[in-house]
Amino acid sequence: MSSIIHGAGAATALSTFNPVDSKKLTNLSVRSQRYIVAGSEASKKKSFGSALTVRHSQKLIPNAVATKEADTSTSTGHELLLFEALQEGLEEEMDRDANVCVMGEDVGHYGGSYKVTKGLADKFGDLRVLDTPICENAFTGMAIGAAMTGLRPVIEGMNMGFLLLAFNQISNNCGMLHYTSGGQFTIPVVIRGPGGVGRQLGAEHSQRLESYFQSIPGIQMVACSTPYNAKGLMKAAIRSENPVILFEHVLLYNLKEKIPDEDYICNLEEAEMVRPGEHITILTYSRMRYHVMQAAKTLVNKGYDPEVIDIRSLKPFDLHTIGNSVKKTHRVLIVEECMRTGGIGASLTAAINENFHDYLDAPVMCLSSQDVPTPYAGTLEEWTVVQPAQIVTAVEQLCQ
Amino acid sequence: MALSRISSRSNGITRPFSAAFNRFISTDSTPITIETSLPFTAHLCDPPSRSVESSSQELLDFFRTMALMRRMEIAADSLYKAKLIRGFCHLYDGQEAVAIGMEAAITKKDAIITAYRDHCIFLGRGGSLHEVFSELMGRQAGCSKGKGGSMHFYKKDSSFYGGHGIVGAQVPLGCGIAFAQKYNKEEAVTFALYGDGAANQGQLFEALNISALWDLPAILVCENNHYGMGTAEWRAAKSPSYYKRGDYVPGLKVDGMDAFAVKQACKFAKDHALEKGPIILEMDTYRYHGHSMSDPGSTYRTRDEISGVRQERDPIERIKKLVLSHDLATEKELKDMEKEIRKEVDDAIAKAKDCPMPEPSELFTNVYVKGFGTESFGPDRKEVKAALP
C-alpha cells in the first residue's frame, strides 16, 4: 500500500483499478471450467498446453530471449561490456555536471576493483575521483554532508556488503534528512556497488543488501541487469535529486550488449518487459533474470508462454507494469536472489496480494535464496540460489 | 528607561544597543581588550594570545544574546514539563559561551554542524525564537515544518547543517561539508561540534584521518561538558585530553565558559584550517541541566558541583562583570534588559502556541524530491514515457 502513496516521480503513478468487466469474468469462468474439466495430472497438462499453443501460436516468441530482436531502433550503436557501460554513464555525467564526484576505495589510481571507474582519475583529477581510506561509515557520511551543500557524489562500496558499516549514515542521514529538515536539504547521492552471490566468494562477500535497505524511507533502489539499463540507470540516478542505491551484481560485469550511441536514460521507477507472454508473470531482477530466461527456453519448449518482467526498481515497485501483467496472466512467480525472510520478494508478494488479489488464480509463489550464509563449496553455493530447473518446476506447478 | 522600550526587539538579536543608551553612542566603536580567564593549552601548534580584541557593542551583544539563549532554554524546560514539548529535549544552558563566541569569530558562509543540543546554535545562526518554539511544539511554522523536532533544527541560508540525533554521525557529515567547501573553492570553514561522549566514536577518527589527508578546512570542536549522559568522562575515555586525541592533528584546549576565549580560539582555528587543514578545539564547558529533560542531572554529579560551577564559572555572570567593570551599563539597565528578554521569549511562546499543527498531507511531503527535470524513455525507447517536472 505504501508504494502507491509514495509518488516518487510522476511517471509511474499507479493506474486506478478498473473493475473487472463482464467479458473478463466470462473468460475467467471459462478458463476455470477448462481447468476443472481436465481430470488427471497428465491430461491436465496436455490439454492446457495444446489449447494454449493453438490459441497463441501467432504471439508466441520462439526465442526466449527477446530483447536483442526488439532492439532495432538503432542500427548504429556500439558494443560493450556492462562495467564499461557503467563507466560510460559515469563519465558522461561527470562531463555534463562539474558537481559530480566519485568517492570510494581504490576508485582513483587503481581504476576501481571492477574497473567501473577506470581512467576517470586521470581525466578528472584527484579531487573529483577520490580514493578514500577504508572507512565506509566516514566516507559515506562525508559524501552525504557534501551532498547537503549541493555536490553530487557517487559513493562506491567495493562490495555492497561493506556498506553495512555505513548503515547509520544511509538510513538516518541519507534517507531522512530531506524530511527532517522540512525540505531544506536534498541529498542527491548515488550509492552503488556490486553485491549478490558470486563464484565462491564466501559468506561475507556474497551479501544481498536490498532486503536490509528496503524499508529506509526517502531512498530509491534500482538494480541493473544489462549494459543498456546499467548505463541508463546510472545516469538517471546521478541526475535524480533523491538518494538512489544502485545494485550491481558481481557476475554480470562482463555481459556484452550493443547500446545506442546517443544520450539516453532509463526511468528509475519503471520495470522492464523482457519477454511478453500470456500464461504466467515471472518477476525478477539482476542476475536471476538470466536464470529465468534460461528456464524460459525450457518452458517455451514445453509449451508454456511466460511473461518475464525485470522489475529493476526495487523501491518503489512499478506496480503499474506489474499490475497490468497480473491482470493479463493471473499467475505470478517471483524469482529473486534475496533471502527468503524479509527479502524483496516478500515485500513484492505482499504488495501484489494487497493490490491484485482479485486477479490472481493461484497464490503468488516466490523463489528466493535459502536463509543461510552463502557457503564456500561450489555445489552448496549453487543450491543457495535459485536454479533454472527450480524455476521450471515452479511454473509447471503454478500453471496446473 | 523609556528609550530602552522603544528600541524594538522583535527580530534582531544582534541589534545595536546604541539607541537605548544615549551616553554610550560615542563609545560604541571603542575597542576593548579583554584577557581570557585561562591561557590556552596547545597540542602541535602555537597557542593564540590571551588578549582578545572586542568592542563595547560586542560586549553588550554577547550579554544580550546569551541572556536570550538562557531564557529560551529555561522556558523550554517549563514547556516540556507542561507537556507541550514531547520526546527528547536537550538543553544548552551553561554552554552559551561556545555558541556566542563561535558566531563572533566567523561569517554566515562558514558552516556549523552539531548534534542534538542545537537550540542555541540555531539561534546564533540567525534563527528566530518563533521558529524555535514552533518546531519544539511541532507546529507548522517551525524551522523544519514541525517534522524534525528538537534534535533536527536546520538553517540552510545561514549554513547551519543541524541538528542530528545519532551521536557522532554529524562529524563525517561536517567533514563532507568541508570537502565541498574545498571542492568549490569557497574559502570558508566548517565547525563540526560534538561532545565528550561522542569523542569515542570511531567515525570521528575516520573522518579526521580523511580530513588530514585531503587538507580539508574542517574544525572539530569537542564541547566537553564532562558527562556523556550519565557517564563521567574519566569513566568513558582512557585519555580525556580530547584536544590531543587527533594525534597528528593540532589541538587547542579552551575555557568554554569564557566567550572571548572561544572567540579567539575559533578565529585562530579558522585561519589554521584555511591554510593547514584540520584542527581540534576542546571547549571545557558545563551544562546545568541533565543530559535531557528526562535526566535530573543529579544522580551522577553532586548539586554542590553544579552550584559551584554556576557561582564561579557562569558565562553570563562573567560577561555581566565585564560590562559593569567597563562601565557600559548599570545593574539596573542589565536587569531591565533581562526583563525585556523574558517578555520577548514569552511573546514568542504565545505566538508559537497559536500556530497550527502541520496538515495531515504533510506526512507524505518531503520524503522524496519530485522530478528530475529530464525526459524519460520507456525501456524500448520508442516513446517518451514521461517528461518529469
Q: What is the pLDDT of residues B258-272, one digit of tens each?
A: 999 999 999 999 999
CA dihedral (A135, B222, B52, B336) in degrees, to 10, reads 140
Grid coordinates representing A69? 530482436
Taking a contact as any Cβ pair under 8 Å apart, which residues of chain B between 143 and 162 contact chain A?
143-149, 152, 154-156, 161-162
Name the β-bridge partners of B35. B51
Q: What is the mean pLDDT of residues B161-165?
A: 91
- Residue from A238, A227, A218 nearest A85 by CA: A227
pLDDT of residue A41: 39
Residue B366 has its nearest CB partner, among A11, A178, A229, at A178
Alpha helices (runs of H) in B154-258, residue ranges in sequence order: 170-183, 202-213, 233-236
Which residues of B121-273 form beta strands (DSSP E)?
A: 190-195, 218-224, 227-228, 231-232, 251-255
Among A70-79, A210-219, A344-353, B356-365, the least confident range: A70-79
B364 touching chain A per CB within 8 A = yes
Q: What is the mean pLDDT of residues A8-17?
A: 36
User: Mind listing the pLDDT tens digit for each residue in B70-128?
Assistant: 999 999 999 999 999 999 999 999 999 999 999 999 999 999 999 999 999 999 999 99
User: Mind listing the pLDDT tens digit for each residue in B194-203?
Assistant: 999 999 999 9
What's the pLDDT band for B362 if we cut at 50, 70, 90?
confident
Residue pair B170/A137 in contact by the 8 Å Cβ criterion: no
Distance CA B140, CA B131 (A): 9
Q: Is A224 exposed, middle or buried (0-12, 13-18, 19+ CB in 10 A)?
A: buried
Active site amino acids of A: 136, 205
C-alpha distance across the termini of chain A, in Å: 30
Report whether pLDDT(A278) > 60. yes
Report whether pLDDT(B376) > 80. no
Name the β-bridge partners of B345. none
H or E stretch covering B67: helix B56-81
Strand A152-156 versus strand A220-223 pairing type: unpaired
Strand A78-81 versus strand A256-259 pairing type: antiparallel
**Helix, coil or strand: residue A222:** strand
Average pLDDT, chain A: 83
Q: Which residues contact B42 (CB under 8 A, 6 or more apart)?
A: B250, B251, B252, B253
Report whether pLDDT(A225) > 50. yes
B chain contacts of residue A133, beta-carbon cutoff 8 Å: 206, 209-210, 213
CA dihedral (A75, A80, A86, A88) in degrees, to 10, reads -70
Tell me whether residues B176 and A130 touch, CB distance under 8 A.
no
Taking a contact as any Cβ pair under 8 Å apart, which residues of chain B between 200 and 229 contact chain A?
202-203, 206-207, 209-210, 213-214
Q: How far is CA A154 from CA A93, A103, B70, B323, in A?
A: 11, 6, 43, 52
Distance CA A184, CA B366 (A): 9
Residue A141 is which amino acid?
Answer: G
What's the pLDDT band for A69 if we cut at 50, 70, 90?
very low
Report whether pLDDT(A359) > 50. yes
Distance CA B231, CA B301 (A): 10
- Residue from A159, A299, A133, A290 nearest A225 by CA: A290
Residue A146 has its nearest CB partner, among B163, B176, B374, at B176
Grid coordinates representing B269? 582555528
Report whether pLDDT(B382) > 70. no
What's the pLDDT band for B385 if we cut at 50, 70, 90?
low
Closest residue in A to B139 (Cα–Cα) = A182
Report whether pLDDT(A14) > 60. no
What's the pLDDT band for B51 if we cut at 50, 70, 90?
very high
Average pLDDT, chain B: 88
Tell me whether residues A184 and B144 touch, CB distance under 8 A.
yes
CA dihedral (A368, A373, A376, A380) in degrees, to 10, reads -40
pLDDT of residue B55: 92
